[in-house]
Structure 1
Amino acid sequence: MDELRDLFRRAADHAADYRRSLPDRPVGPPVDQAALTRAFAVPLPAAPTPPEQVLAELVAAAEPGLVATAGPRYFGFVVGGASPAATAADMLAAGWDQIAFNPVTSPAAVAAETAAGAWLKDLLGIPATASVGFVTGGQAANTAGLAAARHRVLADAGWDVERRGLVGAPPVRVLAGAERHATVDRSLRLLGLGTDAVREVPAGPQGAIDPDALAAALREAGPGPIIVCLQAGNVNTGACDELRRACDLVHWHGGWVHVDGAFGLWAAASPATRHLVDGLEAADSWACDGHKWLNLPYDTAFAFCARPDVHAAAMSYAAAYLVGSGGVPAGADLTAESSRRARGFAVWAGLRELGRDGVADLVERCCALARRFADGLTSAGFEVANEVVLNQVLVGFGDDARTDRVVAAAQADGTCWVGGTTWRGRRLMRISVSNATTTEADVDRSVAALVRLAHDVSEGLVY
């Protein structure tokens, strides 16, 4: 056991040293992918290798290819860096090696999910009676929510989709905004509804669904099973749909409302931004990520459903050998996984570390830093293409080709990492501020680098 203790300590020391280096190391270091692959692709040895040697070899092979996504100047893909308490709890979860299938396989894992789920619903303004499935990400959360929706709207039409499948079922119509996230479409594919079931509803100037167009689409859809996908936090602009009005419209027509709130649902946790998601409690299901704005470890997200019985009917299963199944829905009853890792420990620890005020402060600071980005780049003469309502900033540096060159130059430079996107037919730089450790100095340093690189691109110094 002393050897195990030493091995775990070495791993923790490596992790801590890496985290300590994040403020100073290049965010996206130049990588020779072929060399990195060769470092890992050594012949599999015939004999066992001592664990401490394996750990040392892993660190040596991986270090050149690590991207500082957990650092304060990574502004891509709306991700934060896992907080100290959540990271430590995730280390414990790996050491405890629990199966979070049900209260029999791990009473502690299910208890942590139950407690953390109650905190999440309270923070987000989701009804306390809703169920919470702890899933891997927004894709899994959308799939679980839409599976519940499929179950309910077809059951209302007299069809048992879990028993009879979709062949011969009443057609399900899906209304979704033109700027919905791509995971919604993939969920519909996985659930057998298909993307042909989608009727796109036009979006307004900032990407939120047009409520008048939604009302018209609902009237045209007529009677029958209908699901409407709304959005809290447009992936490009941060814009949120008018949830209260939309929910009222959909429910009047007998439909189910699913809200994809991967990062934008966290607006509800702050008094300064809560108005953007007014009415969210009226929806039927919600998807939200923890490894984005909440700064929890990856593989952490939440599928909420206002009807726990519907949620469980869509996702659970039973077998004679599964001791403890069939009770109050929990654990694997609310997800598409059976051998689930105990991700609830890190969620509980991360929320406990921040507290209610800490979560609100995190949201407010990231929004303020996004506005600081926008102000700095506007002052430098560049175009901010969206209304900065949350933590998303879209920037144009002239024509599309020049913007792409500035994005590529920034990624190679290493001061910060930003992404590119296409929005409304234009290529733009996409800046997402989601990390709890980002400071005003990090933003100012990044703005200075982007201004410098844009100048170099204009002068032909960077291609």
Structure 2
Amino acid sequence: MSEIQNKMFQEIRSKEIFNQVQQYSYEYLNSIFNRNVYPSEEALDNLSVFNEELPENSTKATKVIEQLNTYGNPATTATLGGRYFGFVAGSAVPVGLAAKSLGTYWDQAPAMNVLSPIGSKLESVVEKWLVNLFNLPKKTSAGFVSGTSTANLCGLAAARYRILERNNWNINEKGLRNSPKIRIVTSKQAHSTVLKAVGILGLGKENIEWVDVDKQGRIIPEEIPELDANTILVLQAGNVNSGAFDNFEIICKKAKKANTWVHIDGAFGLWAEAVNELKYLTKGLENASSWAVDGHKTLNTPYDCGIILCADQEAMTSALHMSGSYIVESSERDGMFYTPEMSRRARIIELWSIMKYLGKKGIDEMILTMNQRAKQFANEIEKITGFYVENEIVFNQVIVRCDSDKITENVLLNIQQLRECWLGGSIWFEKKVMRVSICSWATTESDITKAVKSFEKALEISKK
């Protein structure tokens, strides 16, 4: 046995570093809801301690963990808390954190059933749960990926495969050179990950047929060009700024007649279908061909957790094909056929745990509460002179601006420096705005009020 091997076996037996991490984790959880949402300047400066050459010799394990906690803990952004409103980044349901911890020790990779029978089983179960929860076609397949960026890529890859296959063109064998043209139709406010996927897949961003949007950022159905069977139409369940939803009922009906592939980018908004009071927003979504959604946004799974759902299983698995003489296929689910990558962690463990814990009623209640907190924020901020809410609050997004772009920019910077809450900026119809995303199970009424007071203070500072 080698020296390093013996050392690691001793660490397993002693459990010292695992107990050390558990203690640090509990301390973190005890402080997360009251700490500054963004790290202090001192904490950021202290990160320089990591600027070192790779050590020549092995470092004591407890020292490694101690350094990581001492300087890493204070430099984390408190996305787990209730006042982080940036980037539609969700918190994490407690049982999800616990399940992820357990899953980390299991260290499963559910590419094949033979690699992880438990991973394969949970993916099969959750696939059925999601199809039922979102009221999708029964034959819909799910792939569990890192996030909606990858899920959008998978959905458009499946669409590309099917459209070219209908034109007697095998994309896997022939590539794109001299292939039949594929049209891409989407709104002028499509998410950047859609554009990224279009570029990666070789479909060309210059080929996109852009469609105007209304004042809430919804694609205007009447402005959509004539569709056909060689077209991919990309819609949104939740505009990245306003949270608005495209009219799936009208648009998908039109697309279906033309045999057009409809992909819905529903990173955070697809979950509205699981809420009785909000499912009017997603009416008709079942008539699409593919759907992308995150677990780590609205459902509050730990990062990274995305899902691609596709009604055309053959197109999906053919687009993401995998082969090799060493591969052991099973009569059960082999997850690698539904995702671009083979090596991936079993994120399904925490997704299953959270859905099992919440159930349909819990999912409904948690997400509806986010909607209520967004409405509370809008109501409270509008009572302060100098702030204006720019959108209808239909889901979890609030767009706020001040009297000028300059004031908005200064106020946003002041809010970020105050660190009571954190959010980012955006551009909304050529105006600079502040984008508030209520996406945490932990956001309470008092969190909203505290955040609004921080806005008010930031505005006062900007006037000095």
> Is the TM-score greater than 0.5?
yes
CA 1:457–1:34: 2 relative to 1, 3 Å: closer
Larger mean CA deviation between 362-371 and 117-126 belongs to 117-126
Gaps of 5+ in 1: none
Residue 264 (structure 2) aligns with: 259
Q: Which residue of the partner structure matches residue 164 of structure 2?
A: 154
Query: 1:179: Cα distance to partner?
Result: 0.7
Does the alignment pair 1:448 with 2:456? no
The DSSP-based 3-state class of the residue aligned with 2:156 is helix
- C-alpha offsets along residues 225-263 of structure 1, whole Å, 9 cap, x if unaligned? 110001000000000001121111112112100000000
Which 4+ residue blocks in structure 1 deviate beyond 4 angstroms?
none
Other-structure match for 1:383: 388
Alpha-carbon separation, structure 1, partners of 2:442 and 2:362: 13
Shift of 1:31: 3.0
What SS does the corresponding residue of 1:218 show, helix, strand or coil? Answer: coil
In 1, distance between residues paired with 2:47 and 2:372?
Answer: 40
For residue 130 of structure 1, what is the amino acid of its counterpart?
T
1:20 alignment partner, one of 23, 30, 40: 30
| CA positional deviation for 1:43 | 2.7
Task: Report the counterpart of residue 44 of structure 1 in structure 2.
Answer: 54
Looking at structure 2, the residues matched to 36 and 399 of structure 1 have their Cα atoms a distance apart, in angstroms, of 36
Q: Distance in 2 between matches of 1:10 and 1:127?
A: 48
Q: Specify the alignment match of 1:309 in structure 2.
A: 314
What residue is the counterpart of 2:292 in the other structure?
287
2:305 to 296, 300, 305: 300
Match of 1:364 in 2: 368
Distance in 1 separating the partners of 2:138 and 2:100: 26
Task: Report the Cα distance in structure 2 between the residues aligned to 1:245 and 1:163, rounded to whole angstroms.
Answer: 37
**What code does the residue aligned with 1:403 have?**
T
SS in 2 for 1:430: strand
The answer (yes or no) to whether the contact 2:276–2:364 under 8 Å persists in 1 is yes
Who is 1:64 aligned against?
Answer: 74
Query: Unaligned stretches of 5+ in structure 2?
Result: 1-8
Distance 1:34-1:323 versus aligned 2 partners, 3 A rule: same
Contact 2:142 2:310 in 1 (8 A): yes
Structure 1 length normalisation: TM-score? 0.95
Q: Distance in 1 between matches of 2:74 and 2:440?
A: 23
Aligned partner (choices 180, 183, 190) of residue 200 of structure 2: 190
Going from structure 1 to structure 2, the CA distance change for 1:194 and 1:33 (only over 3 Å counts) comes to farther
1:191–1:33: structure 2 CA closer, same or farther, 3 Å change rule?
A: farther
- Count of residue pairs the alignment pairs up: 453
Contact 2:83/2:420 (<8 A) preserved: yes
- 1:248 paired residue number: 253
CA contact (8 A) 1:142 1:187 kept: yes
CA distance in structure 1 between the partners assigned to 2:18 and 2:314 by the alignment = 42
1:29–1:412 CA contact under 8 A, matched in 2? no
Alignment partner of 1:11 is 2:21 = yes
Q: CA deviation at 1:127?
A: 2.3
Structure 2 length-normalised TM: 0.95
1:118 maps to: 128
SS at match of 2:233: strand
**Aligned equivalents of 2:350 and 2:186: distance in 1?**
33
Q: Percent identity?
A: 35
Determine the structure 2 residue equivalent to 1:218. Answer: 226
1:151 aligned partner, one-letter code: Y
Partner Cα distance (1:138, 1:313) in 2: 20
Deviation at 1:352, TM superposition (A): 1.4
Partner of 1:108: 118
Q: Do structure 1's residue 331 and structure 2's residue 335 form an aligned pair?
A: yes
The Cα of 1:436 is off from its aligned counterpart by: 0.1
2:41 corresponds to: 31
Q: Indicate whether 1:393 and 2:398 are aligned.
A: yes
Moved more, 93-102 or 144-153: 93-102
Tell me the SS of whatever aligns to 2:163: helix
Deviations 1:151-194 (A, max 9, x none): 11111122111111110101100000111100000001111111
Partner SS state of residue 431, structure 1: strand
Farther-moved stretch of structure 1 (115-124 vs 148-157): 115-124
| 8 Å contact from structure 1 (residues 36, 64) kept in 2 | no
CA distance in 1, matches of 2:95, 2:101: 10
Q: Single out whichever of 181-190 and 379-388 deviates more from structure 2.
A: 379-388
C-alpha separation between the residues in 1 aligned to 2:457 and 2:54?
A: 47
User: In the TM superposition, what is the alpha-carbon distance from 1:80 to its structure 2 partner?
Assistant: 1.2
Aligned counterpart, 2:216: 206
AA at the equivalent of 2:145: V
Paired letter, 1:69? T
The AA in structure 2 aligned to 1:57 is Q
1:430 corresponds, among 411, 416, 435, to 435
| Preserved CA contact (<8 Å) 1:31 1:65 | no
**Contact 2:43 2:74 (C-alpha < 8 Å) held by counterparts:** no
**C-alpha contact (below 8 Å) 2:382/2:389 kept by paired residues:** yes
Distance 1:50 1:128, change over 3 A: farther
Q: CA deviation at 1:2?
A: 7.7
- What's 1:96 paired with? 106
Report the residue type matching 1:441 in the other structure: S
Query: Which range moved further: 122-131 or 293-302?
Result: 122-131
Q: Is the 8 A contact 2:268 2:293 kept in 1?
A: yes
